[in-house]
Amino acid sequence: MTSYSWSYKLLHWLSAVLIILMCFALVGFNPKMSDADRSVMLVGHSSIGTIITLLILIRICKRFILKHEQPPTRITIAQLTHYALYALMVLVPLTGYITANFHQLPVQLFGSIALNGSHDIDLFNTTRFVHASCVKALIALVILHIAGALRHKLVLKDNTLYTMRPWFANK
């Protein structure tokens, strides 16, 4: 096998675009914003987070349960990076969901499904710290992932980058 299947590529690039969108959303969360504005931001944030979670669960199912064919095994650092990326792509929305349950504002998924449990400022602050730490670790690993892909293209000059490119033309 010289390339991932179209479904892997679709899941990879949809996840990538949505995760990058969520990173830009971090700029939108401002401590001085009104509760109404924050509620609107939280609806979008939680809705996109849910979509990312579903995409990641499908990717994990395809990768580890269905064991769809993969390109040849990469070196250990790449494998560890991929496993850590999968773990964080599950932990970020999970900790986000837990954090939302302790938030004082009602958080709605897609504007209709309420996520909140009971408001607890101490638990909210703790889970928000864990969520933010996971987000920072995910961003660092995404940068490492991109750097690894560029290393394969520019330094090693191998075909690794072509296994996940979103278009179908040959090299």
Provide the residue-wise pLDDT of the chain in tens; the chain has 171 residues: 467 778 888 898 899 999 988 887 777 777 788 878 877 888 888 888 889 999 999 988 887 777 766 556 556 777 888 889 999 999 999 998 888 888 877 677 777 777 677 888 899 999 999 999 999 999 999 998 888 888 888 888 887 777 777 765 444
pLDDT of residue 36: 81
pLDDT of residue 30: 73
**From 3.30.70, 1.10.10, 1.10.1060, 1.20.950, which CATH number describes the 6-163 domain?**
1.20.950
Q: Which residues on neighbouring strands pair with residue 113, listed in sequence order?
A: 109
pLDDT of residue 73: 57
Place of tokens 């990768």: 63
The full set of domain ranges for the chain reads 6-163
- Residue 68 structure tokens: 């769809």
Buried b (16+ CB within 10 A) or exposed e, 66-100: eeeeeeeebeeebeebeebbeebbbbbbebbbbbb
User: In whole angstroms, how far apart are CA 130 and each of 95, 102, 134?
Assistant: 7, 13, 6
pLDDT of residue 129: 96
pLDDT of residue 45: 86
Please choose, from the candidates 43, 14, 13, the residue with its C-alpha nearest in 3D space to the C-alpha of residue 28.
Answer: 43
pTM of the predicted protein model: 0.73
pLDDT of residue 54: 92
Calpha distance 109→111 (Å, rounded)? 5
pLDDT of residue 55: 92
pLDDT of residue 43: 80
pLDDT of residue 100: 84
Q: Do the Cβ atoms of 26 and 59 come closer than 8 Å?
A: no
